[in-house]
Structure 1
Amino acid sequence: MRKYIKLISIYWFMGIGIGSLAYIFFLWQSGAEIQTVQQIMNVVFISGLIGLVSMIFESETLPVIWQFIIHFCLVYSLDSCLNLLNGITTSFIWSWRFLAEFFITYLVIWLFIYLSFSTRVRNINKKLQEKN
């Protein structure tokens, strides 16, 4: 049971960290100067949920392509909910521009995670080789 609570906590806080950084970047890009406490809390909560959705990659029964498709759709839905909660109009959320921005952001975040993970694996393998 402790293992699952720890895993849920890790995914929750990683989601909050990555989501918050992405949100800050988009605030900076759009030139937004003021955010309400409610908007910040929405970002934290939805980002945590996105982190939990990422637990789908722990599944060993689903093919990886389905994991990505399901993850992409759920994250897109949660991001759309976040924008609605924070007062962004629905016409923007269902636009090609939003989809393109979301897709690019999704790829950039995955590239960062992939590079971070592969660096960590490379370091572990290097330490194992030194040990042997």
Structure 2
Amino acid sequence: MKWFGKCVDYFFTGMGFGAISYVCILTFLYPGIAPTIRETTSVLIISGFIGLISMIFETDLPMSIAIIIHFVGTFCLFLAMALINPRWVINISTIVVFVLIYVIIWLICLLEQKKTVNRINDRIKKRNLK
């Protein structure tokens, strides 16, 4: 059951990143274009699957291999999303936006991990001082 809970957590985290990315793209790159039910649903579901792919980072694979697998899997799911949504076009600019968003999300995750590690280290220091 613990494994299922972890999967749900990763799925919803992926949905969150996907929803935020989608809203930002619509707001800043395509202002005035309303999202459709099909687009929103596909973004949420496929972003959830991208979140599940992120579980690869909890394996014993070398980080470089895990990043490559995650990036390729994420890009394939992004292409599937584009095929599901007829208004979406795949060209060099959408690929650049995809890579940019991928890097931004990575930076956010790294900053969050750094913050967590610092908080844990602070607690350890406080406990050792007592």
In structure 2, the gaps of 5 or more residues are none
Q: CA deviation at 1:125?
A: 1.1
- How many residues are treated as equivalent by the alignment? 127
Q: CA deviation at 1:32?
A: 4.0
One-letter amino acid matched to 1:131: R
Q: What SS class does the counterpart of residue 35 from structure 2 fall into? A: coil
Normalization by structure 1: what TM-score? 0.90
- Superposed, 1:28-107 pairs within 5 Å as 28-29=27-28, 30-60=30-60, 62-89=61-88, 92-93=89-90, 95-107=91-103
Q: CA deviation at 1:36?
A: 2.0
Q: What SS class does the counterpart of residue 76 from structure 1 fall into? A: helix
Distance 1:71 1:46 in 2: 14
After superposition, the C-alpha distances for 1:45-68 in whole angstroms (9 at most, x for unaligned) are 0010000011110111x2111100
One-letter amino acid matched to 1:118: K
Aligned-residue Cα RMSD (Å) equals: 1.3
Identity of aligned residues (%): 32
One-letter amino acid matched to 1:51: G
Distance 1:101 1:21, change over 3 A: same
Distance 2:73 2:24 in 1: 22
One-letter amino acid matched to 1:14: T
Q: What SS class does the counterpart of residue 34 from structure 1 fall into? A: coil
Q: CA deviation at 1:6?
A: 1.3
Q: CA deviation at 1:127?
A: 1.0
Q: CA deviation at 1:84?
A: 1.8
In structure 1, the gaps of 5 or more residues are none
